[in-house]
Structure 1
Amino acid sequence: METDFLYRQIADPIEQQILTGILPTGTKLWSLRTLSREYGISQNTALNVYYYLEAKNLIESRPQSGYYVKYSPIKKVQQASLPSPRAVLADDSYWVHSVYQNIGQDHPLAMAHPGEALLPIAKLNKALIQASRSLQGSGVLYEKPEGNAELRKQVARWSFPLREDEIITTHGCLNAISLCLLSLTQPGDTIIVESPVSFGMLQVAKSLSLKIIELPTHPEYGISLLALERNLKKRRIAACLFIPTFSNPLGFCMSDEDKWKLVQLCEKYQVPLIENDINADVHFGKKRPKSCKSFDKSGIVLWCGSVSKTLAPGYRVGWVAPGRFYHEVLKTKIQHQISSTSITQEVIAHYLRTGRYEHHLRKLRVSLQAQLLHFQKAIADYFPRSTKVTSPQGGFTIWVQLHKDLNTLEIFEQCKKYDVSFAPGALFSLQHLYSNCLRLNFSLGWNSEVEEKLERLGEILKKA
C-alpha cells in the first residue's frame, strides 16, 4: 500500500482512541522513533501520522517535549464582546476585595498566578542568600530610583533591543501601570481598554478618577482596531491600556500585523500606549510573541513587565520602559516610592543572568499547557453542557461562558460555603457585562483536590 494511505491506516485508530477517551486529554503520545518501530514504518510516515492528527486539532506538538493529546469536546467562545462606546466609571470594589481574599490559599482558582509547586522556591532561597552577601549593606540600603543596574541590564538583554538606561524598575507590573497612568493622566481624563479586561487595571484607573472606554474584543484575535480608530478620531484620549499578548482574562494574542497597526494608530493620533506584557513569557508556541514595543520607533509605547506571574509573585519585581515619557515616569516613581526593593531585584537579576530563568520557563510552559488541557477536559466533564470556554495559547487564565440566565456574582457567594473560588465575569468590565461568565486560574499544580473543586463548582452551576 502506498505511503499516503498507510499513514491514514495508523492515524484513524489513534483518532478513535482520542475521541472515545481511551487516550485522554494531556496524554503524551509515542515518540516518532517508537511509532516507527511499533508499526514498521519510516519516521517520515510516522511524522505524517502526527501531522494529520494535528491538522484535525486532536493533538499538539510541544517544543522539546513531543506530541500530546489536545482534543476536548467542549465548545469554544467565538463571538467578540460588544461593550457600549460610552466612557464610564463604576464601583465594584466589594467584589474585587472578595476575590483578593483568595490570595494565600493553597488552590486559588480565582487568582492569576502559578501555584507554589510550579515555582523554584529552593533555588530562589539560595539566590536570596547570595544576594544578601553581594549587595552593599546586605540589601538594606536604598536602591537608585531607576532601580538595580544589573536587573535593568538583564531585562534589556532578555526582551529585545533596549538599553539599560531606558528601563525603570517597579513593584510589579500593576505598579508599573499605575506609575504610567499617574504620569500621563489627570482626574477626569479618558483612557481606552479592551473588554473584558483585568479588574486590577480597572481598579487602578478607578482610583485615579479616570473615565474608561471599553473596546469590542475578539477572544482569539483581540481588540477591534476599527473601533479604536473611531474613538481616537472622536475625542481626546489620554492613553490606551492594553494586554495584547495572552490577555487577562480572554487569553488572546494579537498578530504581529495587528500589533504593528496598533502602534501606528497610537503614533498617528499621538496617544501613549501602555502595554501590559506580563504574560508573554508563558507562551505555548515555539517562541515568545513580539511585543508592541518592538514595533515602536518613536517612544509612544510604555512597555510594562514583571516576573510576578512566572517566577516570584511575592517579590513584587517589575519594570517599565517608558520610551519618550521616561523622565515623567521616573519623577512619579521618586514622588511616590523613592526606590524599589534592593535584594529581590538582585535575585531576579541573578536568575536572568545565569540562564536559570529560561530553564525554569521551559518547564513552566510545558506544565501550564498540560494543566490547561486538564482544565478544559474537567470543564467538559463536570460543567453544564451549554458551557463555552476560550482556548488560550499562553498565559494563566481560562474564560468560561455559561448560560445567559446565570449570574456568577450570586454563584460566587454560594461557592464560598464550599471553599470554591473563581473570578466573576462582571468584575472585568465597568458596564455590567459578562454576568454569565467567570475566569479560572489553570496555573495550579494539577491534582485530585483541584479536580474535586472543579467538579464541585460544576455541580453548583448545574443546580443554579
Structure 2
Amino acid sequence: MAKYEQLAAQIRQQIESGIWRAGERMPSLRKQTEHSGMSLMTVMHAYQLLESQGWLIAHPRSGYTVADNIQSVTEPEKAAVETAESVDINSFIFDVLQASRKPYMVNFGFAYPDPGLYPRHQVNKSLMHAARNLPVSNALDNLPPGNDTLRTMIAQRYAAKGVNISPDEIVITAGALEALNLSLQAVTRPGDWVVVESPTFYGALQSLERFGLKALSVRTDPKTGIDLDSLERAFQSHPVKACWLMTNHQNPLGFTLTEGKKRRLISLLKKYQVALIEDDVYSELYAGTEQPLPAKAFDTTGNVMLCSSFSKSLVAGYRIGWVAAGKRAMDIQKLQLMSTLTTSVPIQLALVDYLNTRHYERHLKQLRRTLDKRKKTMCQLLSRTLPPSVEIIHSEGGYFVWLILPQHADAMAIYAQALAENITLAPGDMFSPGTQFNHCLRLNTSFELDERHTQAIHQLSRIIQLHIGHSH
C-alpha cells in the first residue's frame, strides 16, 4: 500500500471513530504534513483519495471538511486518480501472452483479430512483387521517416476523412508499439509522470516500466471513457508530461469518446501544455458507416502524436505502423535512427503495392461487417450463458468485450482454471498497475462461433459460475 493510501486509511478510521465529525474542518495540508511527517504531495494525494471516495469535501481556497452524509459511505468508490511511483507488470503480461501461443488453445485472450480474416494471399502477392522490383537505392530511400509514397498514401487516407496531416510529419515505424514508444521517449525522461486510462492497454504499462516512468491512472467509465474532470485534477496536482490515451474503440473497454469529449480533451491538453500520445490502432474497425475522428483532428498546436498501424486491419505479422508526430517529427526520426535504424523496406514497398490495387477498401468493408456480426453473436451467447450478476460491456466497433464480475470474484483464479481447460482469457490485472480490476475479464469476439468456440464459452460460463458461487 502506498504512503498516501496508508494515510487515507488512517484518516478514514479517525472519521469512523468520531475524531472528525460530519461537516467539521480537517487540518490544513500543511498542518497534516507537520503532524504526519509525510510530504505535502503525499498528504494532498490522501485528501484527494478521500474526496473521490466521498469522505471529504474540498472547498476552493479553504481546505477540506468531512462529508455530511458520512454514515452512508459503506463501500468506497474507485479513486478518481491512482498513482504508481513505479510500474512492475512486464513479467506477468509476458506469461499471459505466452499462453496464447499454443496452437490448441481457444484464444479469447488473443490481442489481434482472427487471422483468418486477413487477405493474406493478396498481400503476399504484393510482397513478392515488391521483392522482385526492389531498387538498388532502397535502403537510403526508406530511411526514417520512411518510404515517401507510403507516407503520402497514409496522409491521403486521413485527408479523405477530413483530417489534414502532412506526409512530412508521418514517420513509418515497426508497428504501432514502436510509434508509441518513440513518442513517449520524445516527450519524457525517467521519473516523469504520464497519464493513462484506468483500465488501460497493457502495452502502455510495459512502456512506462521500461522507461522508468510514473503512472497516473485516471478513472475511466466503461461506456463514456476517461473522466475529464479527474484528468484536469491530475494535471493540477502533478507535473504531467504526457497522456497515453485511446479515444476510439479503447482496449480493453471498447468505448469511443464523443466528439465533444475529444474537443474538451484537446483544450485541457493545450491549457496545461501536456502532450498527447494517441493510440488509434482500431479506428478502421468501426461499425456502421461513419468513422470516428481521432482527437488529433481537433488539435492546432502540433502537440498530439497520432499512432496507428496496419496490424489490426490488414495483417499482423508485417509490423508496419506510423506516427503522425506533429511538431516532434524530427525528434522521432532521430530516436528511430538510434534504435531500429529503419523499418523493413520490402514490407513498406509491399504495402505501397497493395494499397495501389484498391483491394484495401473492399477488405475493410468486409472486415467491419464480419467483426460487427461476430461481436453481436458472441454477446447474445454470453447473455444466455453467463450468470445475471456478470455485466457485459460491449460498444460498437472493435472486437473486445469487457466482463465485470461481482466484486468478490477472482479473475486470476478464473484465468488459471480456463487455461487448464485450454481457453485463454485476458484477466483484468493486465490492464492496471494495481489490482482494482481483478474481478474483470477481456474477451476477443473476432472468432467465428463454431462448435469449438461455442463449447468454450459454455465451459467459461461454468468456471465463472463456480468461482462466483465459491467466493461468497
Does TM, normalized by the shorter one, top 0.5? Answer: yes
2:230 pairs with 1:259: no
Alignment-mate amino acid for residue 184 of structure 1 = V
Aligned equivalent of 1:12: none
Partners in 1 of 2:372 and 2:87 — Cα distance? 35
Q: Deviations over 1:16-69 (max 9, x none)?
A: xxxxxxxxxxxxxxxxxxxxxxxxxxxxxxxxxxxxxxxxxxxxxxxxxxxxxx
Compute the displacement of 1:219 (Å): 1.4
Q: Which amino acid aligns with 2:170?
A: I
TM-score (norm 1): 0.80
1:115-164 CA distance string (max 9 Å, x none) = 12211111111111111122215978883121111111111011232221
Tell me the residue number matched to 1:330. Answer: 333
Whole-angstrom CA distance in 2 between matches of 1:356 and 1:104: 32
Q: Distance in 2 between matches of 1:462 and 1:263?
A: 43
Structure 2: how far apart are the matches of 1:362 and 1:459? 36
Residue of structure 2 in register with 1:44 after alignment: none
How far apart, in 2, do the equivalents of 1:241 and 1:388 lie?
27
Separation (CA, whole Å) in 2 of partners of 1:463 and 1:261: 44
Amino acid at match of 2:111: A
Residue identity opposite 2:96 in structure 1: V
Match of 1:69 in 2: none
User: What are the within-5 Å matches in structure 2 for residues 239-254 of structure 1?
Assistant: 239-254=242-257
What corresponds to 1:91 in structure 2?
Answer: 88
> Which AA in structure 2 matches 1:108?
N
Select 2:300's aligned residue among 294, 297, 302.
297
Partners of 2:83 and 2:122 lie apart in 1 by 49
Report the secondary structure of 2:261's partner residue. Answer: helix
Aligned amino acid, residue 421 of structure 1: T
Count of aligned pairs: 385
The answer to whether the Cα contact below 8 Å between 2:109 and 2:444 also exists between their aligned partners in 1 is yes
Q: 1:302-354: CA deviations, max 9, x gaps?
A: 00000111111110000001111111111111111110001111222233333
Q: Does the CA-based 8 Å contact 2:80-2:230 persist in structure 1?
A: no
Distance 1:85 1:435 in 2: 16
Report deviation, 1:88: 3.6
Output the CA distance in 1 between the equivalents of 2:347 and 2:153.
14
5+ unaligned residues in a row in structure 1: which ranges? 1-79
1:420 alignment partner in structure 2: 423
- The within-5 A match list for 1:166-205 is 166-205=169-208
2:125 corresponds to which residue? Answer: 126
* TM-score normalised by L of structure 2: 0.78
In structure 2, the residue matched to 1:62 is: none
CA distance in 1, matches of 2:282, 2:120: 20
Tell me the SS of whatever aligns to 1:315: coil
* Separation (CA, whole Å) in 2 of partners of 1:420 and 1:372: 18
- Alignment counterpart, residue 459 of structure 1, candidates 459, 462, 469: 462
Could you give the per-residue CA deviations for residues 265-293 of structure 1, whole angstroms, max 9, x where no partner exists?
Answer: 11111111000011110000312101111
- Output one character per residue of 1:91-112: Cα deviation in whole Å (capped at 9) or x when no partner: 2333211221114647421122
Provide the C-alpha distance between the structure 2 equivalents of 1:357 and 1:138, rounded to a whole number of angstroms.
Answer: 28
AA aligned opposite 1:150: T
Residue in structure 1 matching 2:230, options 205, 210, 227: 227
CA distance in 1, matches of 2:447, 2:142: 34
Contact 1:131 1:139 in 2 (8 A): no
In 1, distance between residues paired with 2:110 and 2:203? 11
Tell which deviates more after alignment, 360-369 or 96-105.
96-105
- How far residue 406 of structure 1 moved from its aligned partner, in angstroms, is 1.1
Distance 1:138 1:323, change over 3 A: closer
Q: Name the CA distance, whole Å, in 1 between partners of 2:137 and 2:384.
A: 52
What displacement does 1:453 show? 1.4
Higher RCO structure (Cα 8 Å, ≥6 apart): 1
From 335, 338, 342, the equivalent of 1:339 is 342
Taking the aligned partners of 2:95 and 2:397, their CA distance within structure 1 comes to 26
- Tell me which residue corresponds to 2:210: 207
Cross-structure match for 2:359: 356
Structure 2: tracts of 5 or more residues without a match: 1-76, 468-472
Q: Percent identity?
A: 32
Q: What amino acid maps onto 2:94 in structure 1?
A: H
SS at match of 2:387: coil
Distance 1:236 1:261, change over 3 A: same
Q: State whether residues 89 and 205 of structure 2, in contact with CA within 8 Å, keep that contact through their aligned partners in structure 1.
A: no
Q: Kindly tell me: are residues 81 and 442 of structure 1, through their superposed partners in 2, closer, same or farther at Cα, counting changes over 3 Å?
A: farther
**Distance 1:285-1:82 versus aligned 2 partners, 3 A rule:** farther
Counterpart position of 2:21: none
C-alpha displacement of 1:166: 1.2
Pairs within 5 Å for 1:311-326 = 311-326=314-329
Moved more, 374-383 or 422-431: 374-383
Query: Given the alignment, which residue of 383, 397, 401 partners 1:398?
Result: 401
